[in-house]
Structure 1
Amino acid sequence: MTTTTPLVDPRVIALAHYAGRAILETVLARHGITFQQSVTLRLAAVADGPVGREQLVGGVTDALKIDATEVHGVVDELIAAQLLIPDGASDLRITDAGRELYAATSGETAPITARIYDGIPAEDLAVTGRVLRLITERAGAELTALRG
């Protein structure tokens, strides 16, 4: 029996995405945080300081392709959980608790990610990265056109 490498298609990409996301969501659930909250918290954690609420919402909206109203709700949840706090009239800042949570979830997922990627040649990862970026860019343009 000959094993063939599957061509990259939407199903293959989706299966890889959902496999990875299931791992992440399992880790996040142990910490009482959702995927959307994690994405939002990450953007605040990697910022060089306070981040504008609209900038944060825009980043999450762009990354997850979800409605800004939903992201504002996620931001409010993070503020209520004291993982983000207002900083001035329109900025937000990650709290120490938010930074600790981000570090904990990142620390738990890093070795899992390392095991998943272990042994994949760097050249294969580079090609895959280029192809996925192109697909993401094209899909984003199509989504923009569909939403008009």
Structure 2
Amino acid sequence: MNKRVWIAMAIALPCVAVAAEPPGKKPRVNPEFERQFNNVDTDKDGKISKEEAAQKAPTLAASFEGIDTGQDGYLSKNEIIAAQQKVREGFSRRLQDADRNKDGKLSREEAQAIPNVSARFDDIDANRDGQLVLQEINGFLRNQGKTSGTQ
């Protein structure tokens, strides 16, 4: 996936929260993700077509082909969850790389390595201490998901 798609997915689908489950068990999904998925799945067939995504979640539609790993023209919950996991892993690596002093926080200077984080630094820095921790970034993304719906 290209960088634009990763950023779009990170902003578009922040509400996916897959709990760690033993192999073979169905992953638990965040209720907000369920709500958003059901909102986009207008025909209630348990999958999202490109047309449904285009109507209800244009950002998701823009990333559709990269998420549709089954190449069947539909997005399942599992495909979206897998794509979101890849995004989280990639974003986590970018955060670790940006944290040059390895203190688990991003200073304003370190955040410049991730332009979309740097641009919203003050919005993300919930406690206004001039440093970002993962909890603040996750909280910001969760709130973005609630205010932007599925887009």
Q: 1 or 2 for the larger relative contact order (CA 8 Å, sep ≥6)? A: 2
Normalised by the length of structure 2, the TM-score is 0.34
The structure with the largest alpha-carbon Rg is 1
